[in-house]
Structure 1
Amino acid sequence: MTRHVTFMTIDDAEHYTPRQRAEIIAAYPAHEREARAKGIPVLGSGRIFPVAEELIACEPFRLPRYWPRLGALDFGWDHPSAAVELAWDTEADVVYISKACRASQQTPAMQALTLKPWGEWLPWAWPRDGRRETLEGAGLALAKQYAAHGLNMLTRHAQFPDGSVSVEAGLMEMLDRMQSGRFKVFSTLLPWFEEFRLYHRKDGQVVKLRDDLMAATRYGVMMLREAVVDPAEFKAARRKAGQSDPLGAFR
């Protein structure tokens, strides 16, 4: 038996005018607004990212060609595998989650068919368990299976520059970016926001349920230094002779 959760917000109550909705929301205490207006539950000992969605959601837009990008994977089978694309505005140091997908019981070959259109040049961050050998892969490590099917996997699993892999450090990096306006997510990525709303702790520990896109995002943030510009776009946009603006050809 499968379960499905449908979220309805006050914006779905179309018998209210926009002004009436705003007045109703304003009447709630600040700490209750997301729960009452958007149905976002308070779970366990608290949400991992206590940030209003309005602070991180943005309308999709065409990404500048000169922004470095990085893909990030979280492996799974019964629980979904997940993938996100990160685009990095290096001038403002803002990270954008521009693509996201999630699927259960898909082999690396099937997932590669979905992800390769994002760009065969795109480097992919992956978790430490990608070194694990699996029965499905006849003893071949997961990361190597994805590479064999055409994904440009990074040579090392996701880690900080000092080699550490702390989950808490990764979460704090994400939270710091969210709170400082340096982390944005395309508003159309509904599965990403579903996980974001439910991601929480219980007894001080991260609850590892329906956290696949959150985990993939964390791996991407940890390996952001490996993001690159599409080589084809870079070559096509080379600066013309005599052009004074060094970035003019990319704008």
Structure 2
Amino acid sequence: MSRHVTFMTIDDAGHYSPEQRAEIIAAYPDHEREARARGIPVLGSGRIFPVAEETIACEPFKLPRWWPRIGALDFGWDHPSAAVELAWDTEADVVYVTKVHRASQQTPAMQALALKAWGEWLPFAWPRDGRRETLEGACVALAKQYAAHGLYMLTSHARFPDGSVSVEAGLMDMLDRMQSGRFKVFSTLVQWFEEFRLFHRKNGQVVKLRDDLMAATRYGVIMLREATVHPAEFKAARRPVGQSDPLGAFR
């Protein structure tokens, strides 16, 4: 007999009004709220991001045209390939997750086709395994296969400015942003929050299961320095000489 587990939050209980939901959540003890209202179980040795969803979720809005953006990919086949778009408010140093894509058993051609709809100018960060050659790609490195299908891939894999690729450092960078109010996610990105709720450690190690969008987000945050502004929007947003220029750092 097959089985399926469906996770639901109190927000899925349509017979409650927003006010009633807020009252119910407020009635729970602080340490039980995530489990009771969001269906988040106690996981292994702990959640990697012990942050309340409402502190990072925000309503979608039209992005200012001068905010630089970057895409980021996590490769997969049986476990999904995943991608995110990040927008960066450089003046406040706040990162926003604005788009996500996740799909299993899709070739680079199909993935590239979907992601180019975000803008062919958008640069994409990618992990070290993108240098791996695949038989399906006629022994061509995976990142080059995506580039061959028109996706704008960065020339090198995601890494810190000193060349390191520490997973823990990337996770701590994300957590620091979350806890300091410098990391936000559009509230409509259901798949992202599904992974966020279950992203955890076991025996101190990151559990590499249903973490595809989390990984893609980490690569994007690491490579924020490569984020760019849409060329047409860059030109339109420039200010006359003498006026404050929000794009001055991207000349």
Q: Is 2:99 aligned against 1:99?
A: yes
Q: Percent of aligned pairs with the same residue?
A: 85
Q: 1:53 maps to what in 2?
A: 53
Query: Which residue pairs with 2:167 in the alignment?
Result: 167
The aligned counterpart of 2:245 is 246
Aligned Cα root-mean-square deviation (Å): 1.9
CA contact (8 A) 2:238 2:245 kept: no
Map 1:140-159; keep pairs closer than 5 Å.
140-159=140-159
Q: Which runs of 5+ in 2 are unaligned?
A: none
Using the TM superposition, give the Cα deviation of residue 14 of structure 1 relative to its aligned residue in structure 2, in angstroms: 4.5
Distance verdict in 2 for CA 1:215–1:4, change over 3 Å: farther
In the TM superposition, what whole-angstrom CA distance separates every residue of 1:214-235 from its partner, at most 9, and x where no partner exists? 0000000111111011112112
8 A Cα contact 2:98 2:185, kept in partner: yes
* Amino acid of the structure 1 residue aligned with 2:198: L
- TM-score, normalised to structure 2, is 0.93
Partner SS state of residue 152, structure 1:
coil
Q: For 1:153 and 1:12, locate their aligned partners in 2 and report how far apart those are by CA, in whole Å.
A: 38
1:141-180 CA distance string (max 9 Å, x none): 0010011111111111000011000000000000000000
Once the two structures are overlaid, the 10-residue window that deviates more, 20-29 or 87-96, is 20-29
Partner residue in 2 for 1:122:
122
Q: Deviations over 1:17-69 (max 9, x none)?
A: 54443333223221110101121111111111000000110000010000000
Q: Kindly tell me: are residues 158 and 20 of structure 1, through their superposed partners in 2, closer, same or farther at Cα, counting changes over 3 Å?
A: same
Residue identity in the other structure for 1:246:
D
The corresponding residue for 2:29 is: 29
Match of 1:87 in 2: 87
* 2:11 alignment partner, SS class: helix
Query: Would you say 1:195 and 2:195 are equivalent positions?
Result: yes
Distance, in Å, in 2 between the alignment partners of 1:222 and 1:120 is 21
Q: Aligned with 1:153: secondary structure?
A: coil
After superposition, give the CA deviation of every residue in 1:62-108 in whole Å (9 maximum; x if it has no partner): 10000000000000011100000000000000000000000001111
Equivalent-residue separation in structure 2 for 1:72 and 1:194 (angstroms):
18
CA spacing shift, 1:224–1:4, aligned 2, 3 Å: farther
* Range moving further from structure 2, 6-15 or 146-155: 6-15
Structure 1: gaps of 5 or more residues: none
Q: How many residues align?
A: 247
Structure 1 length-normalised TM:
0.93
Question: Bigger CA drift: 90-99 or 30-39?
Answer: 30-39
- Distance, in Å, in 2 between the alignment partners of 1:44 and 1:92 is 35
Aligned runs of 1:195-214 on 2, under 5 Å? Answer: 195-214=195-214
**Partners in 1 of 2:177 and 2:209 — Cα distance?**
23
1:176-187 paired onto structure 2 within 5 Å: 176-187=176-187
Alignment partners' CA distance in 1, 2:2 and 2:112:
26
